[in-house]
Structure 1
Amino acid sequence: MTSDDTAPAVPTRTLDTLSELTPAQTEAVLALLEESARTDGQQAVSEQGRLQLTGGPQSEGASRSDSAKGGGGRREGVRHLLLTVQGQLVGYAQLEDTDPVEAPAAELVVHPSHRGRGHGRALGSALLAESGKRLRVWAHGGHSAARHLAQVLGLTLFRELRQLRRPLTDFDLPEPTLPAGVTVRTFVPGEDDAAWLAVNAEAFAHHPEQGSLTQRDLDDRKAQPWFDPSGFFLAFRGDELIGFHWTKVHAEEGLGEVYVLGVRPGAQGGGLGKALTTIGLRHLAAQALPTAMLYVDADNTAAVTVYERLGFVTYETDLMYRTES
């Protein structure tokens, strides 16, 4: 959520809610996101939101036109809000209503040169109306303007997601020690999809975004330029998949990411998570990447403690706000 607050409304403002975007509209939204990211230093819409916007190879190294040509098509439960002023796109919001329990989740952004004019409040109010006043909104980076907008909209802080980082230069972590009977190999696309999706759903049953990934979501990620199965590690006990560490490389930023790390319930507590983390970090360090990053919920104290012991420190924070329920 990157926006403005309570400035007077603009008479020529138009706000449309669509279930599917044309290639031209997708191109305009991607351009808006890129310009905002250059100003803010981070994306206002998450990777999942960008995949739901394009469905094509929109990631590091992919051009806007390539992504827009691919087109994401209609996504069940996903709506796009386009805010234009005199025909120019100046604001975008995405609303996802796919979780059977949680309130719909949203992200929004206003073009940097059009902030302070009430567009953020207009988008936020439209999201509240579209969601029936049951809404969760991400504020990536937790900027003061986004916090103020949340207050104006009557939203309260609900979740804190931390980005942690540590240097990979002079990497000094010891050799990983796997639990007895556990072996590790890399992911084989097409062969390991179903097993990984099942374990991911179990490991993240408490996590509405990650735990609900489908085959289409996995396919979207496998189609990205950054996808590399040699950095996707699977842990087995016999023939049973019990854990994984999926790494990701952000080549332009020189960052290696602990993208997703999960251990199947019942296999936790034996040091497998730490061993998989170390295996992935060693893989990233071997590619001469200077820094590793990861995301973790602030209230997941066990995971935060493990990562801090591995040398990670907080770099920035994303906040989620929601309506009172």
Structure 2
Amino acid sequence: MSGTRSTGEQVHRAGRLTPTEIAEVLALARTAGDTDGADPLDEHVLLRLRDERAPATHLLTRADDDTLTGYAHLDTSAPASGIGAELVVHPAYRRRGIGRALAREMVAAATGPLRAWAHGDHPSAAALAVDLGFLRARVLWQLRRPLTAPLDPPRLPDGVALRAFRPGQDDDAWLALNARAFADHPEQGRWTAEDLRVRLGEPWFDPAGFLLAVESATGRLLGFHWTKVHEREGSARIGEVYVLGVEPSAHGGGLGRALTTAGLAYLREQRGLDRVMLYVDESNTGAVALYERIGFVRSSAHVNYHLG
């Protein structure tokens, strides 16, 4: 295994993972996700695992037979503004102190304030956070809706039309709109051309499911609904409201609702799905209210803990 042994008795630290180690981490995350009902590593971490250029610290624990029992990821790309951290322990090796050892090593390895996600809001994660001095700072809800339930047709404002995203042509305009729509969001509003490029290259990307609302007279982008389809062997397919945003000057005209229902109709009628999910900040009461009016209900919670 690459890296050096850390001060933690069971924890090994690495600046880069080998392809074999990456495969082990992905298998561990799938096992934990199937057991817990919530994936322990978010999309950002999974993308960075495959990117050799992405600065990160990897923490690993192993059993005597070399089985990977735990993993923690620290995103060290911007330490001054916060180090993103995520942690997972194999279900068969829990209650042995592995999670605590990984968490303590996360704190020791951090060179800036820590921002750690607990996906699923498990009581054990909350207890560990309190013990180590982390503060509960942000809650992200996962909402779900059956697509078999009645769905209102999208009602676009006058002078607005829908079309599909055109990779290579709409990139810059979309990035500018995304930055305006999510100016106060700690992650989404900071997307770069590289962030977009990586996702456009993912196997799940479907330009027909990336809907843009444009001003008919000028072609100006006013909003978007980027859908995603999750397909995992052994699990039912589910759609996602991946990112939905509206030009701030176009708020209040019903465009957000129209974009939402248009994307849901696409997932149901073009992709043949019967359920959909989305993530929304608990504090974004306007968006929560919109989604609840369309029939979404809370499914689970994901908590971000801060230290430093």
TM-score between both structures, scaled by the size of structure 1: 0.85
User: What residue in structure 2 maps to residue 127 of structure 1?
Assistant: 106
Q: What is the SS of the residue equivalent to 2:48?
A: helix
User: What residue in structure 2 maps to residue 42 of structure 1?
Assistant: 38
Alpha-carbon spacing, 1:100–1:35, altered in 2? closer, same or farther (3 Å): closer
RMSD: 2.0
- Mapping 1:86-97, distance limit 5 Å: 86=64, 87-97=66-76
User: What residue in structure 2 maps to residue 317 of structure 1?
Assistant: 301
Quick check: 15-24 or 154-163, which moved more? 15-24
User: What residue in structure 2 maps to residue 18 of structure 1?
Assistant: 14
Separation in 1, partners of 2:184, 2:304: 16
Q: Show CA shifts across 1:95-119 (max 9, x none).
A: 1134576421110001111111111
- Mapping 1:261-272, distance limit 5 Å: 261-272=244-255
- CA drift at 1:83: 2.1
- Mapping 1:2-81, distance limit 5 Å: 13-54=9-50, 72-76=51-55, 78-81=56-59
Alpha-carbon spacing, 1:307–1:99, altered in 2? closer, same or farther (3 Å): farther
User: What residue in structure 1 maps to residue 189 of structure 2?
Assistant: 211
Q: What is the SS of the residue equivalent to 1:235?
A: strand
Q: Show CA shifts across 1:167-187 (max 9, x none).
A: 1114331x3222232221101
Query: Does 2:119 align with 1:140?
Result: yes
Query: Does 2:229 align with 1:249?
Result: yes
Percent of residue pairs bearing the same amino acid type: 49
- CA drift at 1:232: 0.4
- CA drift at 1:234: 0.8
- CA drift at 1:219: 2.4
User: What residue in structure 2 maps to residue 58 of structure 1?
Assistant: none
Q: What is the SS of the residue equivalent to 2:44?
A: helix
User: What residue in structure 1 maps to residue 170 of structure 2?
Assistant: 192
Q: Show CA shifts across 1:191-234 (max 9, x none).
A: 11222122112211222222222222222222222211111001
Instruction: Answer yes or no: is the 8 Å Cα contact 1:20–1:75 preserved in 2.
Output: no
Separation in 1, partners of 2:72, 2:134: 16
TM-score between both structures, scaled by the size of structure 2: 0.89
Alpha-carbon spacing, 1:150–1:12, altered in 2? closer, same or farther (3 Å): closer
User: What residue in structure 2 maps to residue 276 of structure 1?
Assistant: 259
Q: Show CA shifts across 1:134-166 (max 9, x none).
A: 211111000111111111111111111111111
Instruction: Answer yes or no: is the 8 Å Cα contact 2:225–2:263 preserved in 1.
Output: yes
Q: Show CA shifts across 1:238-271 (max 9, x none).
A: 2321211001112442311111001122222221
Letter in 2 for 1:262: G
Instruction: Answer yes or no: is the 8 Å Cα contact 2:60–2:70 preserved in 1.
Output: yes
Alignment match of 2:220 (pick from 233, 236, 240): 240
Instruction: Answer yes or no: is the 8 Å Cα contact 2:8–2:101 preserved in 1.
Output: no
Quick check: 175-184 or 118-127, which moved more? 175-184
Alpha-carbon spacing, 1:278–1:224, altered in 2? closer, same or farther (3 Å): same
Separation in 2, partners of 1:50, 1:180: 41
Instruction: Answer yes or no: is the 8 Å Cα contact 1:171–1:285 preserved in 2.
Output: no
User: What residue in structure 2 maps to residue 62 of structure 1?
Assistant: none
Letter in 2 for 1:178: L
Unaligned runs of 5+ in 2: 1-6
Separation in 1, partners of 2:303, 2:186: 16
Unaligned runs of 5+ in 1: 1-10, 55-71
